[in-house]
Structure 1
Amino acid sequence: MNDNHRIDNLDRQIIATLQQDARTPYAELAKRVGVSAATVHVRVEKLRQAGIISATRAIVNPRALGYDVCCFIGINLKSARDYNAALEHLNELDEVVEAFYTTGHYNIFIKVMTRSIDELHTLLTSKIQTIDEIQSTETLISLHNPIQRQVVP
């Protein structure tokens, strides 16, 4: 990754377009931003090499797959040295979709998606709270997610 890569307005336009739809063909993207497809290709490759564009992926709607419960769980570890072991255990759980090492009240903050409250209960009592390195948890259930976006380039 190149930490010195500076993006200009053309890069910003390319990134914004790809954030909206990563399947946009370079030729169409080029027309939108007023340059050649070859220029778009070169710019995208430079953005990838610089680590600014790290992946292209499909965004799946969890509710369409039956995942109706989204929650956040604050985790307190028994000891700071338990972080790596706890993270390994959490990474094995498909329901854990994001994890953050945080400052403040919790050592780890995770985002969890389950199909039901019963499934969440089972996840908490049979999997997460049985991890030896975890001292305690606090669960916050999301009622609504009114803002979802990526950073503006």
Structure 2
Amino acid sequence: MQQEKGDTHYRIDNLDKSILMALMDNARTPYAELAKRFGVSPGTIHVRVEKMKQAGIIEGTRVQVNAKKLGYDVCCFIGIILKSARDYPRALAQLEALEEVVEAYYTTGHYNIFIKVMTRSIDELQRVLIHRLQPIEEIQSTETLISLQQPIDRDVTP
């Protein structure tokens, strides 16, 4: 598997995959602990992680937040049909300004854009749809799908 970032090429091996899986499980695992687990030096772990960062394989670390614990009880997906394909940049800029939009995808098929929206209630979702999403002039129509649960949530396997 070859990854690119600029002109940097880096092919990951089994040690890199093991490091990635361990860091995906807990990004705060000390390099010394990883080194012990994989039978290499902490310096080797550091070098491998830095090379994967430079190659764009590792893009950073982040805290994963439980949206439900913060009161965001409604998750929905909205398929958006634009009036014209050339409206994409303007529509995307306006969608990006909506804090309730947590993910957006430019897609093929029936919808031009597919977004994930998180709100605290159905009433709040209704306000977002009526007062924030539908007024975007570049949008021709939308279809909203409310998520009842998320039984699978995982990253790709390296």
* TM-score range normalised by the length of the shorter chain: over 0.9
- Note the C-alpha offset of 1:3: 6.0
- In the TM superposition, 1:4-153 aligns within 5 A as 4-153=9-158
Relative to structure 2, which stretch is displaced further, 29-38 or 74-83? 29-38
Separation (CA, whole Å) in 1 of partners of 2:82 and 2:93: 13
Q: 1:136 to 1:115 in 2, by over 3 A?
A: same
How many positions carry a matched residue from both structures? 153
Q: How many percent of aligned residue pairs carry the same amino acid? A: 68
Could you tell me how far apart the structure 2 residues matched to 1:16 and 1:104 are? 33
Q: Which runs of 4+ in 1 moved over 4 A?
A: none
User: CA offsets, 1:72-111, max 9 Å, x none?
Assistant: 0000000000000000000001110000000000000000
**TM-score, normalised by the number of residues in structure 2:** 0.95
Deviation digits for residues 29-60 of structure 1, max 9, x if unmatched?
A: 11111111000000000000000001110000
Structure 2 unaligned blocks of 5 or more? none
CA contact (8 A) 2:8 2:54 kept: no
Give the structure-1-normalised TM-score.
0.98
